[in-house]
Amino acid sequence: MRRSMLGRLAVAACSLSLLTAFAPAAVAQADGGGHDRSYKKVGYFTQWGVYGRDFQVQDLEANGSAGKLTHINYAFGNISPQGRCFTGNVPGEADAWADYVRPLDAANSVDGVADTGEQPLAGNFNQLRELKAEHPGLKVLISLGGWSWSTHFSDAALTPASRKAFVESCIDLYIKGNLPQDGARGGAGAAAGVFDGIDLDWEWPGSAGDTDTTHRPEDKQNFTALVKEFRTQLDAYARSQKKKTKYELSAFVPTAPAKIDAGFDVRRIMRDLDFVTLQGYDFHVSGEPRTAQQSALRARGDFSVDGTVDAWLRRGAPANKLVMGMPFYGQGWTGVSGGGDGMGQPATGPAPATWAAGYEDYKALKKLADSGAYTIHRDRRGGHAWLFDGTTLWTYDDPQVLRAKTGYIREHGLGGAMFWSLDADTADGELMT
């Protein structure tokens, strides 16, 4: 059900610079608190995480993450076949119950007060509103699309008329907060003030994404025009409300140079986007026949964070608008043969895991590391880590890797860090810290 990340198989790219981020000065600089607003710390909160994982918005307060974040991206909003933002209770397509209908008791509420049956806004949206009241500088963006819900992006962006109608529908639903009525919940303006902007997670304009996702050669120019339409309408609505600060606009963007070139007119879109979050993970995935790194800082002749940053810089992206994506999960293989430390060896398939084969939350991988059954291996030059027990291998980011990456961000003047996803962290927010 991990709608944004499953199925990404990258195409090769080279990394071009050396890491000095393990230097103590860089690490010390990276360990500051949440007060530097120019340094973005963006965490994805998953709509479905409130179920099996039982990760509520209130847990961000309990584990200390809320005070460290600058942005929460709420994943996800869907797009209808008619090219409109929508919500409702449609299995696999929309979950208004989680978004704004579901009542929460006092123990699971940010403000410690149980929801009532009469209030127009409940669920995750109300909890996000309460969280923002506790942390006035915190921004919440609605993230549109994701891996499974990018199906109709290309159609929505196809013409000037379709773009205008699509953007109007998204602003009406999420920024104006005009939610469909669901019993006592919803209604005009019910969610007003919850969202501070929009995150575009179209995977991918101009190239293949999920099996049912439409893509066209003209997606590149249409995505540029869509970004412009969002910027224009968001700014106009802010002016109409005499809003002192603008609504923010961001996008999640790929690693592969081929995908960048197929779908992104970098210089033009960066004029209208406040920042982009870079795909810094799933460089290799557990469906591949050999084990490999999924999120290395550097990797000669392969995908890497450094190579991704360089690809965007070379195409004209400002460094301070590049926010590096980091995984709070691991990719895993089992049936690994060939000996050694397990990296780069044949495997029989994805490793068994809690929620989906080959995918495991950091909090579970930490338990494996602490159990003594697995050995932690590190490629210090490459800036990545993995666990191996002789048969099963998990490639993941732990605190030591994240400190190195954060040092790299500071050293290269990047815009900050993004995390997928907040529900995978430990109960004390170890990775966020």
In which residue are the tokens 């495991």 written? 360
Q: Are 179 and 186 in contact (CB under 8 A)?
A: yes
**Nearest one of 4, 39, 30, 2 to 399, comparing CA atoms:** 30
Which ranges of 195-265 does DSSP label H, i.e. alpha helix?
219-240, 257-263
Beta bridge pairs of residue 419: 43, 326
**Nearest one of 287, 284, 278, 344 to 310, comparing CA atoms:** 278
Q: Of 61, 93, 130, 203, which residue is the catalytic one? A: 203
Q: Are 191 and 125 in contact (CB under 8 A)?
A: yes
Find all residues with CB under 8 Å of 373, minimum gap 6, and list them.
Answer: 389
Q: Are 286 and 350 in contact (CB under 8 A)?
A: yes
CA distance 231 to 271: 10
CA distance 99 to 126: 8
Structure tokens at 25: 């000065």
Q: Are 389 and 374 in contact (CB under 8 A)?
A: yes
61 is catalytic: no
Angle at alpha carbon of residue 407, lines to 404 and 408, rounded to 5° = 90
Find all residues with CB under 8 Å of 243, minimum gap 6, and list them.
Answer: none
Structure tokens at 319: 């460094």
CA distance 248 to 297: 28
Structure tokens at 208: 């293949």
Tell me which residues are annotated as active site: 203
